[in-house]
């Protein structure tokens, strides 16, 4: 019975929260769009995984690509173009040899994520960013936004994957 | 007002769900532990990211390490040993050169996740699996569980990281 009482109390609290959301709907989404590019989107580190990759060369990173709920749903549904509100995050870390893992594996074969390099995001708003395929590209170095001029080449680089709504990363099952 | 009504209806439905959970608590967790190793843990592909890695050699894969809520909380709190119920998932895909990405970057530098290889899990139950550091190790090939004999070496391999409760992967911010 005590558990039921807790459940009821929790539900009543939630009821209040939901009623408040009802009065000021979609507050969180609106804020993300409005502030997008000014600060890291809240909760992005909790987003679900789309895929992983490794870049050699100057970047020399290992990366995870995450998506907010709208992006993940679109990927899983195979729905293109991505709907407005979709956000794709690319987190990258320095590509780092792991001595500890190599010992366990018995050979120099293991590479892990070291210190973070930067975080990039693509936000879909088909009207607001119509001139760049409906996407806004932003980047954060140490949590601070990079000036737009440095990102002016993003869209041109993504043009070859126009057929996938300008998104390189494919979903990994 | 209609939004508030929706909110109230949703909350009432949730109230019922919570009351039911109150009567039969922790059903989902109990099921995961009971069936663990028989089938892929429900929803594991939605778990949050711990880190990423690349293994060369025979494995030649690129991998993501995900955690259920209990595991993620322990990582972020820096709490060791991991509490019972923590599950860590290692998803791996064939390490695949991306021609498409290479063209965009202007050089042969990009490696992505190809077809899945297998999925491994560590489940913490300090009493049930006391003889292997409190962890049970399981693996699924094409969604089917691998026989226990093939995994008998897992714990020995994890012994060098006893100080981190036998877990190799560190959390990547």
**ipTM of this complex:** 0.82
Q: The dihedral of CA B151, B41, B49, B83: what is its sign?
A: negative
Tell me if B137 sits within 8 A of B122, measured CB to CB: yes
Residues B15, A21: C-beta atoms closer than 8 Å = no
Contacts of B104 in chain A (CB under 8 A): 157-158, 160-161, 168
Percent of chain B scored above 70 by pLDDT?
A: 81
Q: How far apart are CA B130 and CA B153, in angstroms?
A: 16
Contacts of B3 in chain A (CB under 8 A): 22-23, 25
Tell me if B115 sits within 8 A of B93, measured CB to CB: yes
For the whole model, what pTM was predicted?
Answer: 0.83
Q: How far apart are CA B131 and CA A115, in angstroms?
A: 35
Mean model confidence pLDDT for chain B: 86
Residue in A14, A108, A173 closest to B14 by CB = A14
Contacts of B143 in chain A (CB under 8 A): none
Q: Vertex B150, ends B144 and B156: CA angle to 5°?
A: 125
Residue in A6, A18, A54 closest to B111 by CB = A54
pLDDT tens-place string over residues B118-170: 999 999 999 999 999 999 999 999 999 999 999 999 999 999 999 999 999 99
N-to-C CA span, chain B = 41
pLDDT(B47) > 60? yes
Q: Given the DSSP bridges, would you call strands B110-124 and B135-141 parallel, antiparallel or unpaired?
A: antiparallel
pLDDT(A128) > 90? yes
Residues B4, A25: C-beta atoms closer than 8 Å = no
Residues B157, A104: C-beta atoms closer than 8 Å = yes
Q: How far apart are CA A106 and CA B15, in angstroms?
A: 54
Element (H, E) at A118: strand A110-124
Contacts of B88 in chain A (CB under 8 A): none
Tell me what pLDDT residue A35 has: 79
Mean pLDDT (whole number) for A94-105: 95
Residues B22, A3: C-beta atoms closer than 8 Å = yes
């Amino acid at each position: 019975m005590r558990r039921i009482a807790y459940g009821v109390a929790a539900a009543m609290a939630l009821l209040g929260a939901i009623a408040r959301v009802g009065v000021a709907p979609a507050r969180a989404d609106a804020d993300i769009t409005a502030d997008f590019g000014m600060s890291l989107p809240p909760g992005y580190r909790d987003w679900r995984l789309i895929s992983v990759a490794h870049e050699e060369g100057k970047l020399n990173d290992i990366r995870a690509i995450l998506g907010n709920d709208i992006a993940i749903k679109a990927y899983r549904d195979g729905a293109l173009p991505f709907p407005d509100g979709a956000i794709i995050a690319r987190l990258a870390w320095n590509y780092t040899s792991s001595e500890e893992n190599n010992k366990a594996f018995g050979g120099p074969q293991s590479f892990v994520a070291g210190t973070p390099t930067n975080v990039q995001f693509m936000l879909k708003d088909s009207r607001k960013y119509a001139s760049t395929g409906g996407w806004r590209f932003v980047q954060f170095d140490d949590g601070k936004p990079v000036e737009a001029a440095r990102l002016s080449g993003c869209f041109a680089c993504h043009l070859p994957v126009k057929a996938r709504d300008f998104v390189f990363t494919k979903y990994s099952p």
